[in-house]
A = this chain, B = another copy of it.
């Protein structure tokens, strides 16, 4: 069967079947749908309708649907169940990474209550361990379910063990090879196990040249490692090198996407993770902070301009080129910081040393500023703008572009050094400061020359 595009009509047809409680007709339809499609469907429905629809699903699929819901919709949906139901029906049947993510969404007291109602004590203990790690670190992203074999076994023992363990692990790509102390020694792919003879030994077919990350490695590092080495799953080890979990690529892909979206939104001046479909006041709230900072910047600039009221009265043409100088400094600053922020995010910056980096940025800014200044100079000469004001615009624009570019490179590198998200350097505060700076440079130059 093919994948399904959910139309509005389809959604309404399903809704009327739900309202008439026609479970017998709904079940075959639900069987043809994938969990993400069902999640998309029930986000439009009321709590009672959603609970009825998912009650028709088999447990593994019901749990998958829950994991696919948006966090807000998931919390609404779970309001339809008490702690014991959540523990027994949902958490107990989820992979540990999804279960930990879900538990992290509750208040700490509720989380403890849910864990205490779990029938499998060992599993609730291992979830409690996962919850100790920071959500964005390897330990918070990993699942503890994995398949491991001892280096001293042969392939037949492996296959038997894999059969036993695989029941619990939903996605198997790689089998991990450990010693008697659980220290990770290497990996072996399912393909190699299928291709090997039953009496070959694990030690003969395993790959000792593997990549792993520490349980406290930040998510960004996990993502860039998996991306660089094209890995589908990454083993996570503790300080002693013992295997504690694995991260699969789908979890990292979500993480990479979220990080990229966050940087994009900071660059565009949006302060929360919002979507077009969010409510009006959510969208409004996410956009107001940037606007208000911009507003204060505008008021500040009105004060700066007001301070030069005399100069403007004497020479009105000084007012004509204010927006030009401000915009050029602002644009150059955003470009320069965006390149550095993206380089830091993609880990392509290598071993950056600040001085050579600034030297290079100075050269780039100088070239671009000279090109722009030449254009202004030519324009000034052929138009009736006047010689003096043209010189003022050229000099101040040149300084504004160079200064803003240097700040644009320096600030994200410094933020990153202090462990602060460098993408903040593209946000409203820096951009507004750059605008003001351009204005200052412009009027001081004007004051000096005119």
User: A residues touching B (Cβ–Cβ < 8 Å)?
Assistant: 1-3, 7-8, 31-32, 34, 36, 159, 162-163, 166-167, 171-173, 189-191, 193-195, 208-212, 225, 227-230, 232, 249-250, 253-254, 256-257, 260-261, 263-265, 267-270, 274-277, 280-281, 283-284, 287-288, 290-292, 294-295, 297-299, 301-303, 305-306, 309, 312-313, 316-317, 319-328, 331-332, 334-335, 337-340, 342-343, 346, 348-352, 357, 360, 363-364, 367-368, 371-372, 375-376, 379, 385, 401, 426, 428, 435, 439
Instruction: Write out the residue numbers on chain B whose beta carbons fall within 8 Å of the beta carbon of A212.
Output: 2-3
CA distance A104 to B32 in the complex (A): 39
Instruction: Write out the residue numbers on chain B whose beta carbons fall within 8 Å of the beta carbon of A32.
Output: 209
Residue on B with the closest CB to A350?
Answer: B277
Asked whether A209 lies within 8 Å of B1 as measured between CB atoms, the reply is yes
Q: Supply 13 further A-B pairs (C-beta < 8 A) apart from A277-B343, A284-B364.
A: A36-B229, A36-B230, A173-B173, A268-B335, A275-B342, A275-B348, A283-B364, A288-B368, A291-B335, A292-B371, A298-B323, A302-B323, A322-B323
A-B contact pairs, 18 of them (CB 8 A): A172-B191, A261-B342, A263-B264, A265-B342, A268-B339, A275-B346, A275-B348, A276-B352, A276-B357, A283-B364, A284-B368, A288-B371, A290-B331, A291-B371, A298-B321, A298-B327, A299-B324, A305-B320
Asked whether A274 lies within 8 Å of B339 as measured between CB atoms, the reply is yes
Instruction: Write out the residue numbers on chain B whose beta carbons fall within 8 Å of the beta carbon of A209.
Output: 1, 31-32, 34
Closest chain-B Cβ to A226's Cβ sits at a distance in Å of 8
Residue on B with the closest CB to A172?
Answer: B191
Asked whether A298 lies within 8 Å of B269 as measured between CB atoms, the reply is no
Instruction: Write out the residue numbers on chain B whose beta carbons fall within 8 Å of the beta carbon of A295.
Output: 324, 328, 372, 375-376
Instruction: Write out the residue numbers on chain B whose beta carbons fall within 8 Å of the beta carbon of A312.
Output: 312, 316, 319
Asked whether A338 lies within 8 Å of B270 as measured between CB atoms, the reply is yes
Contact of A324 among B167, B292, B301 (CB under 8 A): B301
Asked whether A319 lies within 8 Å of B305 as measured between CB atoms, the reply is yes
Residue on B with the closest CB to A64?
Answer: B230
Closest chain-B Cβ to A433's Cβ sits at a distance in Å of 13
Asked whether A335 lies within 8 Å of B290 as measured between CB atoms, the reply is yes
Asked whether A162 lies within 8 Å of B435 as measured between CB atoms, the reply is no
Asked whether B334 lies within 8 Å of A269 as measured between CB atoms, the reply is yes
Asked whether B340 lies within 8 Å of A280 as measured between CB atoms, the reply is no
Supposing A3-B211, A260-B260, A364-B280 touch, asked if A36 and B265 sit within 8 A by C-beta, the answer is no
Contact of A232 among B31, B250, B325 (CB under 8 A): B250
Asked whether A264 lies within 8 Å of B338 as measured between CB atoms, the reply is yes
Closest chain-B Cβ to A33's Cβ sits at a distance in Å of 8
CA distance A68 to B173 in the complex (A): 22
Asked whether A281 lies within 8 Å of B367 as measured between CB atoms, the reply is yes
Instruction: Write out the residue numbers on chain B whose beta carbons fall within 8 Å of the beta carbon of A326.
Output: 323
Residue on B with the closest CB to A359?
Answer: B280
Contact of A299 among B163, B305, B379 (CB under 8 A): B379
Asked whether B340 lies within 8 Å of A276 as measured between CB atoms, the reply is yes
Residue on B with the closest CB to A426?
Answer: B268
Instruction: Write out the residue numbers on chain B whose beta carbons fall within 8 Å of the beta carbon of A190.
Output: 172, 190-191, 194
Residue on B with the closest CB to A169?
Answer: B191
Instruction: Write out the residue numbers on chain B whose beta carbons fall within 8 Å of the beta carbon of A297.
Output: 324, 327
Closest chain-B Cβ to A285's Cβ sits at a distance in Å of 9
Contact of A335 among B287, B313, B322, B340 (CB under 8 A): B287
Asked whether B332 lies within 8 Å of A287 as measured between CB atoms, the reply is yes
Instruction: Write out the residue numbers on chain B whose beta carbons fall within 8 Å of the beta carbon of A320.
Output: 301-303, 305-306
Instruction: Write out the residue numbers on chain B whose beta carbons fall within 8 Å of the beta carbon of A376.
Output: 295, 299
Asked whether A338 lies within 8 Å of B166 as measured between CB atoms, the reply is no
CA distance A305 to B318 in the complex (A): 10
CA distance A435 to B294 in the complex (A): 14
Closest chain-B Cβ to A203's Cβ sits at a distance in Å of 15
CA distance A365 to B173 in the complex (A): 49
Instruction: Write out the residue numbers on chain B whose beta carbons fall within 8 Å of the beta carbon of A208.
Output: 1
